[in-house]
Amino acid sequence: PVGGKGKGAQTEAVAGDIVDGTDPNEGGDEDLLEGVKAQIDGLVAAFRDPAIWKPALFLFLWQSTPTGEGAMLYFMTNDLGFGPEFLGRVRFVTALSSLVGVWAYQKYLRTIPIKDILFWTSIASAPLGLSNLLLITHANRALGIPDGAFVFGDDVALSILGELAFLPTLVLAARLCPPGIEAVLFASLMSIFNGASTVGTELGAALTKYLGVTESNFDNLALLTVICNVSSLYPLLLIGWLDGVGSKSEEEMETEGGEEGTAATATATATAKNVLDVAAPPDMKGEY
């Protein structure tokens, strides 16, 4: 058989190396170490470039702002009396809403510069996040809006905005990667993104404890909500760090990069979407 003939030739070649006193695997480990060292050196050199570390630091700061989602979950379950079934429905509806966000981005925002999308989605998200004050103070009831309807409407809007802001960051991360170290740098940027989410969660937990918000005491929950939402705007002071690659739209990037760049961006975006679903912040995934 053809397969057996191929195996025989390979065996003979290896046996010949052994007879000659040479190791067929010799140099493999050294080549691997050299490849790893080259990747590390390239990664360090890349992060020394202001065109890379400035956008990366901006994304870290933008993603690491504190969140009060944990305290709000206690409020909705212990004060408003929402059960697992209702919260599951909210999660399902917000998941569908995120698909609307993906469609809206592909349909209307691919020609808009990434920097502008991040700026305006952040501006729009702040007042929507502050609308939780109506729920916390029960002012929505005075306006004739049931608690459940208010939660559904608020979460749908925030889920769509979160998706509109999330997708451009993936495109930006993919376009920051120089040739030769694309995989290593992209993975590093996604690790920074995930680490920033963890920092934001921990900062929110520290604020919750400092303000004395517990599963039964919500006296300062309104203040916590204000702090978290207002602090989400401070990274916009550094939006200029995205000048350059962030000033271009996804469509312009694809036009400049050609078909190869388009395929690379699409592959990187899909991969990062799957990875970040594990550690994405609540507002990005449309859940509590």
- Residue 98 to residue 221: CA distance in whole angstroms: 27
Confidence of residue 243 (pLDDT cuts 50, 70, 90): confident
Check residue 182 and give its pLDDT.
Answer: 79
| CB proximity list for 279: less than 8 A, separation 6 or greater | 194, 197, 198
Sign of CA dihedral 110, 111, 114, 118: negative
User: String of b and e for 250-284 (b: at least 16 CB within 10 Å)?
Assistant: beebbeeeeeeeeebbeebbebbeeebeebbbbbb
Q: How far apart are CA 101 and CA 90, in angstroms?
A: 16
Residues 103-130: pLDDT tens digits? 999 999 989 999 999 999 999 999 999 9
Mean pLDDT of 53-71: 91
Q: Is the pLDDT of residue 146 over 90?
A: yes
Please spell the DSSP secondary structure of 153-180, one letter per residue.
Answer: HHHHHHHHHHHHHHHHHHHHHHHHPPTT
Tokens matching residue 34:
């050299």
Question: Using CA atoms, how far apart are residues 277 and 283, in angstroms rounded to an integer?
Answer: 12
Which tokens hold the place of 17?
A: 């190396």
Residue indicated by tokens 């590093």: 188
Tell me the pLDDT tens digit for each residue of 211-225: 999 998 999 999 999
Q: What is 224-271 written as a DSSP string?
A: HHHHHHHHTTGGGGGGGGGTTGGGS-HHHHHHHHHHHHHHHHHHHHHH
Higher pLDDT, 226 or 11: 226
- Mean pLDDT value of segment 243-249: 80
Name the DSSP class of 67. Answer: -
> What CA–CA distance (Å, rounded) separates 63 from 61?
5
Give the range among 60-64, 95-99, 181-185 with minimum mean pLDDT: 181-185
Instruction: Supply the pLDDT for residue 148.
Output: 93
Cβ neighbourhood burial of 189 (10 Å; 0-12, 13-18, 19+): buried
Confidence check: pLDDT of 252 > 70: yes
Which stretch of 25-29, 157-161, 206-210, 261-265 has the lowest confidence by average pLDDT?
Answer: 261-265
Q: Which residue has the higher pLDDT, 153 or 42?
A: 153
